[in-house]
Amino acid sequence: MDAAKTVFQAKGMNGARMQEIADEAGINKAMLHYYYRSKENLFEAVFNSAFSLLAPQLSAILNNDSSIEDKIKNFTFNYITFMLKHPYLPNFIIQEVNRKEDFILKLKENIGFPNLDKFKVKVEDEIKQGILNPIEADQLFVNIIALSIFPFLGKLLIKAFANQDDIAYEVFVEKRKTEVANFIINSIKRQYNETIYLYFNDSICNSNLRTTNHNTSRML
């Protein structure tokens, strides 16, 4: 399994060959085929092994009692850190979703598959408390996932647009661990200045109303 992960990580599923994996593992190709039958089956086994490590981490973050701000910071940091170690996973997920309609359904059967119920409740609570600007929890979660996963799906595109070599790209993705969280938090968190403005605006309005009432009383 480690040999397969090494080859898949270096060349992706399409570029990897069963003979290369067998050579990396120090076994013959016939034995590898005996256990896994095909490269696709082997890749799926590698994916399931990796996902079983990632899913519980993400599920714990989504379902603990931390604030939405902390959830976003921890989720993006853990997710991007994990994908840097397993960069072949995002493309594999997209390929499998397009190739097998029941792929996600089977994936959801895994123990620890992320559940958004508590996350949604927490978002609603913080909106009511005035901590967050109104936003649907589903939309927020998709924003987090999309901004975290795209640098892996669009690696070649990003490198071309930004004129990055491999080292510059790695530095760029490393920064995404905090950049994504900061961007999302700043977009959804009710700003302190806005709260102060609303407070003073209400105070001024109330003061003007009292002044008007006082002047009216004197005139009467």
User: What CATH code is carried by the domain that includes residue 156?
Assistant: 1.10.357.10
Contact 151, 172 (CB under 8 A): yes
Give the pLDDT confidence of 110-133 residue by residue, as tens digits.
Answer: 767 888 999 999 999 999 999 999
Contact 151, 83 (CB under 8 A): no
- Whether residues 99 and 172 fall in one domain: yes
- Whether residues 129 and 215 fall in one domain: no
Give the pLDDT confidence of 136-193 residue by residue, as tens digits.
Answer: 999 999 999 999 999 999 999 999 999 999 999 999 999 999 999 999 999 999 986 4
Measured in residues, the chain has a length of 220
- Whether residues 17 and 124 fall in one domain: no
- Whether residues 12 and 73 fall in one domain: no
Tokens of 44: 């799926």
Tokens of 68: 């939405």
Q: Can you tell me the distance from the alpha carbon of 71 to that of 48, in angstroms, rounded to the nearest whole number?
A: 24
- Whether residues 1 and 99 fall in one domain: no
- Whether residues 135 and 74 fall in one domain: yes
Please say if the pLDDT value at position 43 is more than 90: no
Q: Can you tell me the distance from the alpha carbon of 127 to that of 134, in angstroms, rounded to the nearest whole number?
A: 6
- Whether residues 25 and 74 fall in one domain: no
- Whether residues 165 and 206 fall in one domain: no
The number of distinct structural domains making up the chain is 3
Sign of the Cα torsion 116, 118, 119, 123 reads positive
> Is 42 part of any domain?
no
Tokens of 218: 């004197």
- Whether residues 143 and 208 fall in one domain: no
State the pTM of this model. Answer: 0.76
- Whether residues 169 and 82 fall in one domain: yes
- Whether residues 22 and 116 fall in one domain: no
Q: Find the domain containing 199 and state its range.
A: 192-220
Three-state SS at 179 = helix
Contact 187, 78 (CB under 8 A): no
- Looking at residue 132, what DSSP letter applies? B
> Is 57 part of any domain?
yes
Q: Can you tell me the distance from the alpha carbon of 133 to that of 188, in angstroms, rounded to the nearest whole number?
A: 5
Q: What angle do CA 5, 75, 170 make, to 5 degrees?
A: 55
Query: Which pLDDT band holds residue 216 (cuts at 50, 70, 90)?
Result: very low
- Whether residues 68 and 156 fall in one domain: yes
Query: Which pLDDT band holds residue 83 (cuts at 50, 70, 90)?
Result: very high
- Looking at residue 134, what DSSP letter applies? S
Q: Can you tell me the distance from the alpha carbon of 148 to that of 142, in angstroms, rounded to the nearest whole number?
A: 10
Q: What is the mean pLDDT of the chain?
A: 84
